Structure 1
Amino acid sequence: MNTAKTHTLLLIDDKPANLIALKSMLEHPNREIICCQSANEGLQILLKEKISLILVDVQMPEMDGYEFVEIIKQHPDTANIPTIFVTAISDEPKYINKAYDLGAIDFLFKPLITEVTRKKVDSFLKIWDYDQQLKSLNEKLQVKNSELEQFANIIAHDLKTPLNNIKSLIDFIEEEHVLDLKEEATGLFEMVKTSAMDMSKLIDDLLHYSKNVENNEGKESIHILTEINGIIKLIDTDNNIKINKENLNHNILFQPVAFKQIIQNLLSNAIKYNDKDVTEINILYSELDKKISISDNGPGIPENQHEKVFDMFYTLGKTSRGDSGTGIGLNLVKKLAERNDVTVHFNNNYTEGTEVIISNLITS
């Protein structure tokens, strides 16, 4: 019965005797070892075989080991294959540095020591295995996330139709029969009406989330002040809301749609959850720290909930204005921030309200 091969090794050396000796050191039941006598032949093999590790001689005619490694590191299908140089060249730092600069992971110096050669190869094959497992888990996670996002989108769309029917019936009852309802029934009717509105908002937020979290357009240079001014115009503000802007005349690299969604969510929360007669919001860009801070004079968020509020469906309950969030907005903020390689977090030392910080911004 044939044993399945776990790894395929590629050995490249222009001298057959060296290949025979190296192959004998590395033979193992779980390995397939392919030998070739030129770098060009090695490149042809890489087009056809899935290689776990390459051992290549430095000094070869036509194309030497350095040139070979430089070529394979430029191709995405072969760039991550671990490569070890086998050489009789002096172990001077200039040669070693050149190899590492090209992307090699180690050196083996001739004459080869059998036990050292075996242990190095065993170690790098384990690293290869871990790397493959990590890639596999990451691919599965991406598939699961995509499926969950599609599921949320489908469910939200499917719930829309019956909910719209319920809302239409509620509107009809309210217009035609609300005066006929007894006092107790009127209270129950208001509960049904409120529940329908809450459910409608939840579905809208789910649709909004699934649409925006999949949006992966490239980063662009955006003008902070221009974008924020546009967002403020879209938010329903009144005379009791004051928004102060400081040092926003700068450009950063960001996905435009993602930036709008993040700022709009944070500003909307600062307004919705504020308990003061006059809502004050400060938006500041720090050139030194490369961050945007949004602070308010609201009731603040307990420090032990600073991380929880970014979880899907986690809410702080009713706002001072009587409505409640769905627990989706801040999770969307977190996702969009991660997609742009920035972080969003609360300032634990801010005690006069809430301060949210968008950090690790890249200027343009």
Structure 2
Amino acid sequence: MTAETPDVNVLLVDDLQENLVALEALIRQPGRRIFTARSGEQALSLMLEHAFALAILDVQMPSMNGFELAELMRGTERTRGIPIVFVSAAGRELNYAFRGYESGAVDFLYKPLDPHAVRSKVSVFVDLYRQRQELQEAKAQLQRAVSMRDDFMSMIAHELRNPLNSVYLQAQLRRKMLSGGRSPDPQAMLHMVERDERQIRSMVRLLDDMLDVSRARTGKLAIVPGPFDLAASARAVVEAIEEQASNSGVTLTLAAPDTLPIEGDEFRVEQVITNLLTNALRYGQGKPVAVTVGTSGTEALVSVRDQGMGIAPADQERIFQQFERTEDASQIAGLGLGLYIARQIAEAHNGRLAVRSAPGEGSEFILSLPLP
């Protein structure tokens, strides 16, 4: 069986070893793990350790017979749901079957066993068990999806509320200034308009991220390749973010050659660099951020390094998935979409996006793109 489909456990209980060997030989198949017990006590111990799709119990055993074992199983939460098939050498006239069904059995077999009937019955219960497991997994996935949807809607509301509140307060302030009967200060009005523009750009970027996630899922992320200068693009992004960095007290540096011509979608590559820089400002704890542009072998590289909280090794792949963030970043605004989109863009260019980091030592994100 593959790792995604684990073996199904079946328990055989009989006080005679030769009976266990014969029954195991009948039902053993790939994908099944057979456990055997020679007493009721040993069987209970196994059932408390493992989950079983079926228990085949011999009725006539010393110390604890099959019926007594079944009653104990039905009285314990862990073992209550295990289907029981009884096996008996006694004749049908002894009416063992009635007592067996009263004890919670789902079927009754008489010795000598019909090999075909045994195999068929075991296959039915193994298949039913697998179907139950699949349904439980599907239910768990559905619950996770519903929880993710609720968390996503909550994050969206939070992320949109802040810039909307800011724009609303700015509008109220302008209304108050205009209703005061004196001409507003043009410089102050310009400053307010600039703040509005920043907040609106923030909301537009949020909506664009959501659309890009949908496009990436369906393989429709638009890439329009052409020649452009990666060094010039990096400089343009750094210049656009310098004011934000300055307002946050962050020193932002760029080391790049005069030119670095490559082939790709200039807008999308700038989107990746912007995303990496924005994350560095968010998680860099106010410390300097360095951007480096260069080449290595047949690749062009853009590195964005911060000196912030760092990322644990266990999280370094997970953060590139949708809506995923580190636990330490839970109090910082963001949807957990940016790195997912950035990696999709890198891969659409036949490139890579990787991270080097350790807790408390900052993070370096490296975008690698093929040179022409």
TM-score, normalized by the shorter chain, greater than 0.5: no
**TM-score between both structures, scaled by the size of structure 1:** 0.43
Which has the greater radius of gyration? Answer: 2
